[in-house]
Structure 1
């Protein structure tokens, strides 16, 4: 289910009940979980559009020069 389709209050009220049940209200862990759940999908979507716009020739050139896939991802 994509949370972008729901109004924020329709999602936050059940989350607040769940956090109260799990005793995560007013805790650092509860805040970190909500922050991660809300922002990570947007960050991945933003990174995907950036990587799709990058020319494939740069990646191929780095692979030809001997870089591994991980090194290409982290360095280039």
Structure 2
């Protein structure tokens, strides 16, 4: 058991982080101490792909080929 005091803004940020996913205080400490790295590349790829899908479906009515070419280029990088 570990007990420590937090500032109100740090506590709010911690609570916000925990509410967004299945993340424990121990997981946050492990990541902060470098004992576990968060899946940053996977999260970036998922976010990028999701945003590009939105562009493809909602914004670009005649530029689908350009969007797909950009996507393929990013996948190769």
TM-score (norm 2): 0.35
TM-score (norm 1): 0.36
Q: If each structure's helix is expressed as a fraction of its own residues, which one has the higher value?
A: 1
